[in-house]
Amino acid sequence: LSVVYWMRMGDLRISDNRALAQASAQAAKDGVPLIVLFVISPQDYLAHDRSKRRIDFTLRNLILMKASLDLLNIPLYTVSHTPRCTLPGRVISLLQSFSCTRLFANFEYELDELRRDREVCRLANELGIKPMFVHDRCIIEPGVVTTKEGKPYTVYSPFQRSWISILNANVPRFIEEAPPPSANPHSVRDNPIFGPLFSTAVPLIVEGFQLGEEDQTTMLSLWPEGTQAAKDILSRFLHTKSRAIQLGAADPLALGAEHSEKRSRINAYNDSRDRGDRDTTSRLSPYLSAGVISVRGCVRATMRLLGTQKVNAGRDSGVGRWVQELAWRDFYSNVLVYFPRVSMGRPFQEKMANIKWEVDEAHLSAWKEGRTGVPIVDAAMRQVNTMGWMHNRMRMIVAMFLCKDLMLDWRLGERYFMEQLIDGDLASNNGGWQWSASTGVDPAPYFRLFNPYTQSAKADPTGDYIRCFVPELKSLRGPEIHNPSAKVADKLGYPRPIVEHAAVRERALRRYKNPGQE
C-alpha cells in the first residue's frame, strides 16, 4: 500500500507545501510509504503556450527535488504522458500499480486542470482511492474573499481591503508554515515496486520544448533552480539596496553599481518599484509561479522584517505595497475561478468582444522583435526575449502599445508573453493583458491611453534601461534617448517609429468608444 502526492507545475518545492505535508502525515499514520508523482504532459504545455524556459525551469527544479527527496527515502517518479485527454486514466493506473489508498494534490485553478482533476477524483472514488485536493497557491484561496452578498469582487481595491482584514483575523490559518515531510523507512528501497522508482531519472528535455544552448546558459545564470536560490533572492530584496542596470553584464539587472539610496529594495519599493533602470523589484515571479518558494513564506518574511504579528498591506510603506502586489496575484486567481471565460480567450467585459483589431503581421513581428522604433517598447521586448522576464511597468507599456497604438488583438500579446516568459502564469498574464487592453476586471479606462514617451521618461529617467537593451542607442544621452529624431535614428541604424502615437491614439479612442465600428 502507499500514499501518493501528485506534484504539479505550480508546486515545485518540498518545504511549506500543504498537499505534500498532508500526504506525508497520512502515510506516517497509515504506516505506508509516501510516493511523489510528477506527470509531464507535452500536449498541455502546447495547448497552454507554455514557454520552453518554463519547462526547462520545471525540469531543473524536479532534478534538484529528486535528490532532496531521495535523502528522505521518498521516490520522485516522473512520467511523460500523451494524449492529454487520457491523462486521468494514466494517473489512476499508476496509483493502482502503487497500491495507493490516498491521493493528495494541490489545486490548480485553470479550467482544463480543474476538469482533469474532477475526472481523476471520479475514477479514484470508483476504485476506493480517497482523493484530497488542497489549496496552496494563494495566500487566501479563491472563494473566501467575497462581497457581503457572497459575490466575487471585480474591482481590486475593495477586494484588497477585504483580503487584508480576513487575513489579519486569521493569520495562522492562512500563513502558517506546513511541516516538512518525514522520511520513509529505508526498507522502501528494497520494495520490488517502489525500489525501482528511485533509479528512474527526471528527463533532461521534453520533446518540442528544448531550449537552445545559449538560452539555456542564460536562464541558468539568471534563474537558478531550487528553493534555496529563491530564498536568497527574497533575502536580497529584503535586505540589500537596488543596483543600476549594467550594459553587457550576464545579469544586467543585478550587477551594476549599488544605488546611493539608503533603504533596502523592499523599503524603497513604494517609491522605486516603477523604475526599470534599477533592480528595484523582487524578481521572485518565476519562483512564485512555479511554487519553488511558498507565497506564505514571503508574507511571513515581511512580518519578521517588521517584527509584527499582523500582515502590513498599507499603501504608505514599501513592505505594505509589496504585500499588495501579492494580493494582486490572489485577485487574478479569484477572477480565473469565478469567470473561467477569461481563460477561453474571452474578454471579461463582454461588450469589448467586438472591438475591431488590425491584422498586420509586419507590426506584430516588429513588436515581438523589439523593432518598433519606440525605444522603451523595444528595450522591454528585447528584455523579455533575452531574459524571459520583464519589469511590471514595462509589461504594461508594451501591452498598451500593442492593443492601443498598433490596435492588434491583446490575445496575440498574451500568447507571445506566455511563450517567452519564465514566470508565465495564466491568471496573472491574462489579468495583466486584459487590464492593459481595457477589457478585463478593473481595467485601465480605455481613454487612459499610455503615451509611451512620457511613460519612458518616468520609468527610465536615466535612460540606462534603454541603453542596456537597445545598444544602437547607447551613445545617446539626455531626453533624446526616449524619442530620437529621424535623423539620429537613421544615423544610428535604429528604426523610425512604425506608428505615430498622436495619430493612432485617435483611432483607439474611436474604436474603444464604439466597439464593432471602424
Which residues lie across from 167 on neighbouring strands?
A: none
In the complex with ligand FAD, which residue's Cβ is closer, 98 or 163?
163
Residue 303: Cβ within 10 Å count: 17
- Report how many residues bind ligand FAD under the rule CB under 6 A: 29
Residue 357: Cβ within 10 Å count: 15
CA–CA separation, 212 and 163 (whole Å): 42
- Residue 284, classed as helix, strand or coil, is coil
Residue type, 358: E
Q: Is the peptide bond before 461 cis (omega within 30 degrees of 0)?
A: no
Give the dihedral sign, CA 55/116/285/228. Answer: negative
Residue 282 phi, psi (nearest 5): -75, -30
Q: How many residues belong to the chain? A: 518
In the complex with ligand FAD, which residue's Cβ is closer, 184 or 334?
334
CA–CA separation, 476 and 249 (whole Å): 19
CB of 322 to ligand FAD, least distance (A): 6
| Residue 111 burial by Cβ neighbours in a 10 Å radius (0-12, 13-18, 19+) | middle
Which DSSP letter does residue 152 get? B
Please choose, out of 68-76, 360-368, 431-439, 475-483, the segment that lies near ligand FAD by the rule CB under 6 A: 431-439
Please choose, out of 72-80, 106-114, 300-308, 427-435, the segment that lies near ligand FAD by the rule CB under 6 A: 427-435
Binding of residue 40 to ligand FAD (CB under 6 A): no
CB of 269 to ligand FAD, least distance (A): 7
CA–CA separation, 130 and 126 (whole Å): 9
Catalytic residue list = 325, 328, 357, 392, 410, 433
In the complex with ligand FAD, which residue's Cβ is closer, 332 or 494?
332
Within 385-424, which residues bind ligand FAD (CB under 6 A)?
391-392, 395-396, 399, 417, 421, 423-424
Q: What would the x/- binding string for ligand FAD be over residues 271 to 290, using CB under 6 A?
A: --x-------xxxxx--xx-
Q: Which three cell numbers stand for residue 74?
A: 521518498
CB of 436 to ligand FAD, least distance (A): 5
Q: What would the x/- binding string for ligand FAD be over residues 221 to 260, using CB under 6 A?
A: ----------------------------------------
Q: What would the x/- binding string for ligand FAD be over residues 299 to 338, using CB under 6 A?
A: --------------------------xx-xx--x------
Q: Are 114 and 88 in contact (CB under 8 A)?
A: no
The residue ranges that bind ligand FAD (CB under 6 A) are 273, 281-285, 288-289, 325-326, 328-329, 332, 391-392, 395-396, 399, 417, 421, 423-425, 428-429, 431-433, 436
